[in-house]
Amino acid sequence: LYWQVLTHAMTPLSVLMIWKGLMVITDCKSPIVVVLSGSMEPAIHRGDLLFLTNFQDDPLRAGEIVAFKVEDRDIPIVHRVIKIHEKKNGNIKFLTKGDNNVADDRGLYKGQKWLERKDVVGRVRGCLPYVGLVAIIVIEYPKLK
Per the residue annotation, which of 30, 48, 79, 119 is the catalytic one? 79
In whole angstroms, what is the distance from residue 131 CA to residue 127 CA? 9
Give, in order, the Cα–Cα distances in Å from 64 to each of 1, 8, 112, 118.
Answer: 52, 41, 20, 16
37 assigned to active site: no
Helices (H) and strands (E) in the chain, counts: 2, 7
39 assigned to active site: yes
In whole angstroms, what is the distance from residue 84 CA to residue 115 CA? 9
Per the residue annotation, which of 30, 48, 105, 119 is the catalytic one? 105
Neighbours of 90 (CB within 10 A): 7
Per the residue annotation, which of 30, 39, 48, 119 is the catalytic one? 39
105 assigned to active site: yes
Catalytic residues: 39, 79, 105
